[in-house]
Amino acid sequence: MYHKRNNAHLLGALLVLLTVLALSGRTLADDLVDCDDRWPWNDDSCVVIADYLVAAVGASAAPLIRRLSDDSRYSVIAFEAGRYLLDDPNVKYGASAYNVYGDLNTYFWPMKTEYDPVRGKVDDIMVGYGSGGGSAVNGMMYSRPSQAYLKVLNQWGGADWTPAAVNADYKAIENFTIVDGPSVASTRGTNGYINVRRPAVGPTSGSGALAALLAQWTAGASGLNVTDDYNDPSKPSNAFGSFARYQLFQTPEGERETSVNAFLPKSILNPDGTSADPQRQLRVFWEAQVQSVIIDPFRKVARGLVYLINGKTRTAYARKEVVLANNIFTTKILQQSGIGPASLLTANGINVIVDNPNVGANLQNHASISLPFRANPLHGLGYPGNDYAALYSGGAFLPSWNAAGPLTNLSLLSETRKYQLIWFAGFTSLFVGPLQPKSAGYEKITSAATHRNPRFNDLALSDPADLTDMANFLFNFVQNTLFPYIHAQDPTYEIGWAPWNSVDEAKAYIKANAGKTLHYCCHARMAPSAAQGVVDSRGRVFGVPNLRVVGAPAFPFVPDATPASLAELHGWRVAGFMIQDRAPRGPFRRGARRAARRAL
């Protein structure tokens, strides 16, 4: 509809006008009916219409869908390119997670980055594919951003994103349990939707004791404390330090807690996508891939979605709003719909609806590196303790570091976290991830054809400051501070790489061995204006009313934590903003459907 051809814009306008006339009662064909009034909804002879349309059912979409559909007066229809995964044992059980990564075509959308000139390689882009999105295939780590990061979020999101408001919503949606150890802080949620679990520390022997030892040794080397709860907002200093147990997206039984399991359980949504609650107007289409947004070319208002299902291209219309929650495909869909850099859209034969060069820009990700080490086998090298759901032997959040020591002012609590450590005792490796990179990349469509994958490159470590900072951290802290301290406690612990003699040698090692996480974000960033970003503080796309973006693409900067918790929180909060923004509506009456359609 938006391809640039002679009189294409007039044709597009005519098609939209005819659709509006058809849906307002002046039908073009006798068999054109609202799918709300007849089953099945994906019948060829009907048009899908709902109050809200949501593209994808991933980490951020599930809480949004739940919150919007809680009001039975409003209908919600969502489209997910993957399948329903809650009953899949490889997703359900944390110990089976490695089976997921052994079957990329089933659980991930197959894509590759463009060539990375710093690292000299091309990377697989492993995008979660199915119900829950990334929350169904990630490492299950639950970490809130630090309070320092929330202040940055506040600067970009204004009054809608104060730390107090964010912390209150985190508490509202959490159900945090500690298997052993101290009681849960009053600032943490214990009656919310998302099961968050801190596994047991483990027995007095075996790798449970190893996790505690590694936490103590990291604390001794860094001068920072061992923390019981790195997510406690009442103690910002706890955001830094080491710990024996990660907090995980897990049920009390130790099973994976995906966003769909948390917000759209089987009491809400049936596996076939129909509503399990007769009072809830909810429908999810599985294996339905959203391709573009339908935009009124005159008023530039979002009207619906184009999607592919069962090999057929279909359309759906929204009485109120359209929400994109497709993570890395969000900016592709925006660009395919005529929202993005004018030069890029014109070059690909797409009519420009909104010229915004920020769409697809500012793409960020966490780089990573895995360092081998040798350990004392008597400490146990399997899963931590007897808890097979614990997954990791502890870790730490730390500041930057150079030859003079840590680069932070912890007394002022004004710094974001800079590095994350994850001990994988079972593989005798230490994962190191920089959390606040300056590097940013891009996402750009390559064709007006919606089935084409975009050009995609996060360009992690492309900013020289990021590479220098990471090399300083690895050389000065990990190699020359942390491991010498550990070796002094137990001489069997040694580094497993050829020692670097300088920061420059550490840089060369990083270039040859660094990898990527799956934490893509910020390519449709939240900002005060279109000059700086793509959406406002409430997720509304600048220049296109009735269109919003939720989840990681809307983050202004990559968080100083794993992003899953912030993605779910963002979906929850944007749903709240949508509820606040919508006009009051009277009691729902089925006989009023045709009148409601005239709002289109």
Q: What CA–CA distance (Å, rounded) separates 374 from 588?
A: 65
Which helix (H) or strand (E) element contains residue 12? helix 8-23
Tell me the three state secondary structure of residue 50.
Answer: strand
Question: pTM here?
Answer: 0.90
Which of these, 470, 40, 390, lies nearest to 206 by C-alpha position?
A: 390
One-letter amino acid for residue 111 of the chain:
M
Tell me the three state secondary structure of residue 93.
Answer: strand
Residues 6+ apart with CB under 8 A from 134: 58, 59, 127, 128, 327, 518, 564, 567
Radius of gyration of the chain (CA): 25
pLDDT of 209: 76
Which of these, 489, 562, 573, 255, lies nearest to 391 by C-alpha position?
A: 255
pLDDT of 597: 43
Phi-psi region of 340 (alpha: psi -120 to 50; beta: other; left: phi over 0): left
Distances 345 to 15, 187, 338, 351, 542 between C-alpha atoms, Å: 21, 47, 7, 7, 17
Strand partners, 521: 364
The token pair at 270 is 């049936």
Max CA separation in the chain (angstroms): 83
pLDDT of 28: 23
Alpha helix stretches (DSSP H) within 74-120: 89-92, 97-101, 104-107
What order do you get walking across the sheet with 455-457 strand by strand? Answer: 361-363, 441-444, 455-457
Calculate the dihedral angle through the C-alpha atoms of 356, 536, 571, 523, rounding to the nearest 10 degrees: 30
The token pair at 352 is 């420009």
Instruction: Phi first, then psi: give them for residue 218, nearest 5 degrees.
Output: -65, -40
Q: What CA–CA distance (Å, rounded) separates 262 from 228?
A: 24
Local confidence pLDDT in tens for the 600 residues of the chain: 223 334 444 444 444 444 443 443 322 222 233 555 443 444 555 678 999 999 999 999 999 999 999 999 999 999 999 999 999 988 887 666 667 776 777 788 778 899 999 999 998 887 778 899 889 888 899 999 999 999 999 999 999 999 999 999 999 999 999 988 788 999 999 999 999 999 887 665 555 678 889 999 999 999 999 998 999 999 988 999 999 989 999 998 889 999 999 999 999 999 999 999 999 999 999 999 999 999 998 899 999 999 999 888 999 999 999 999 998 899 999 999 999 999 999 999 999 999 999 999 999 999 999 999 998 877 765 555 556 667 788 999 999 999 999 988 766 557 899 999 999 877 789 999 999 999 999 999 999 888 888 999 999 999 999 999 999 999 999 999 999 999 999 999 999 999 999 999 999 999 999 998 889 999 999 999 999 999 999 999 999 999 999 999 999 999 999 999 999 999 999 999 999 998 765 443 443 344 334 444
pLDDT of 34: 52
Q: What CA–CA distance (Å, rounded) separates 324 from 304?
A: 11
Instruction: Phi first, then psi: give them for residue 292, nearest 5 degrees.
Output: -160, 170
pLDDT of 587: 44
Calculate the dihedral angle through the C-alpha atoms of 340, 342, 345, 347, rounding to the nearest 10 degrees: -150
Strand partners, 288: 309
Q: What CATH code would you report for 8-87+259-355+522-583?
A: 3.50.50.60
Alpha helix stretches (DSSP H) within 307-349: 330-336, 342-347
Strands (E) in 351-454, as ranges, are 354-355, 361-363, 367-374, 395-398, 400-402, 405-407, 419-424, 429-434, 441-444
- Number of Cα atoms under 13 Å in the Cβ half of residue 592: 10
Which helix (H) or strand (E) element contains residue 170? helix 163-173
Tell me the three state secondary structure of residue 94.
Answer: helix
Q: Where are the domains of the chain?
A: 8-87+259-355+522-583, 198-257+367-436+462-513
Q: What CA–CA distance (Å, rounded) separates 333 from 335?
A: 5
First to last CA, the chain: 18
For residues 57 and 80, the answer to whether their CB atoms sit within 8 Å is yes
Specify burial of residue 303 (Cβ count, 10 A radius: 0-12, 13-18, 19+). buried
One-letter amino acid for residue 544 of the chain:
V
Q: What CA–CA distance (Å, rounded) separates 306 from 426?
A: 46
- Number of Cα atoms under 13 Å in the Cβ half of residue 556: 21
Question: Whose structure tokens read 């939720």?
Answer: 550
Tell me the three state secondary structure of residue 9.
Answer: helix
One-letter amino acid for residue 66 of the chain:
R
Q: What CA–CA distance (Å, rounded) separates 348 from 87?
A: 41
